[in-house]
Amino acid sequence: MEEKKVLIVDDQNGIRILLMEVFSSEGYKTFQAANGKMALEIVRSDSPDLVLLDMKIPGMDGLEILKHIKEVNPAIKVIMMTAYGELDMIKEATELGALRHFTKPFDIDEMRMAVNMELKGGAVL
């Protein structure tokens, strides 16, 4: 089976490193981007299976990045991360195709289970 690819998009280096370690140890090929431009370059060149996308990123925000990801490849799964309870943005993200969202600080095990469920199949919510 082909190795599944996870792209982590967050402007906070610590979060990117933590998530890369977690998902590398789960057997995924991981990519990271600190901004929307880098994220979209990776989406175009490496076509990740799933993107963990921070809602608040300087420059291009999460919703804008999400729209572009879905334009490039509608099949890419996206899970949003947010530091605030931005319900209107979360609703819009869901309408744009985000599967779910995690509020920071999130439970890393819950995040891991959600990603595994999306990429390895299994129980459906």
Reading the chain (125 residues) residue by residue, the pLDDT tens digits are 679 999 999 999 999 999 999 999 999 999 999 999 999 999 999 999 999 999 999 999 999 999 999 999 999 999 999 887 677 888 999 999 999 999 999 999 999 999 999 999 754 44
Residue 77 sits at φ, ψ, to 5 deg, of -85, 140
Phi then psi for 97, rounded to 5 degrees?
Answer: 115, 5
Q: Phi and psi dihedrals of 25, rounded to 5?
A: -70, -20
Kindly report the CATH number that applies to the domain delimited by 5-120: 3.40.50.2300
Domain boundaries, the chain: 5-120
Query: Is the pTM higher than 0.75?
Result: yes
pLDDT at 124: 41
Query: DSSP class of residue 2?
Result: P
